[in-house]
Amino acid sequence: MYIRFIKYRSMKNLFFILIFAVVSFPQVIGESTYRAPQPLKVDICDLYGTVYIEEVRAFADYKVYVQDIESFAKMVVYKESTEAFADRPGHWFFTETKGFEDFSIYIEEVEAFADFTIAYTDFQTTAGCQ
């Protein structure tokens, strides 16, 4: 009688160990059912409108590095004086009000940390993607 109880108890433990192993197998090998949200793939050539410059990197939609030379930048930006004229790619109107922007940027000091590079121009016709 005592031998049957030992066999039954060991079979019961073995059953629970097998169930636990099957349920937790994806976590053991590094696969998980949770998928982190992926960043949106936005073409930088479509960026225009009202821009707010963030002081905190984490709050910005894009991190940009300002180049001195236009030919090295991925986008040439013309600073518009009125929000209504910022209707083409590369034409940005900078606002001081956080709630009224189309997108926000953070000016990076290191080019490697930036999403893309920009250069400012004084001519409307040269604004846009390179």
Q: What is the rounded distance in angstroms from the CA atom of residue 108 to the CA atom of residue 111?
A: 7
Q: What is the rounded distance in angstroms from the CA atom of residue 100 to the CA atom of residue 79?
A: 17
Q: Which two tokens stand for residue 21?
A: 């192993």
Name the E strands within the chain. Answer: 49-53, 62-66, 75-79, 91-95, 103-108, 116-121, 128-129
Please report the DSSP string for 38-51 in residue order: PPP---GGG--EEE
Write out pLDDT tens, residues 22-38: 666 555 555 555 565 55
Mean pLDDT by 10 residues, the chain (130 residues): 52 67 58 56 86 94 94 95 94 94 95 95 92
Q: What is the pLDDT of residue 4?
A: 52
Q: What is the pLDDT of residue 30?
A: 54
**48 with 87: CB under 8 angstroms?**
yes
Query: Within 13 Å, how many C-alpha atoms sit on residue 98's CB side?
Result: 7
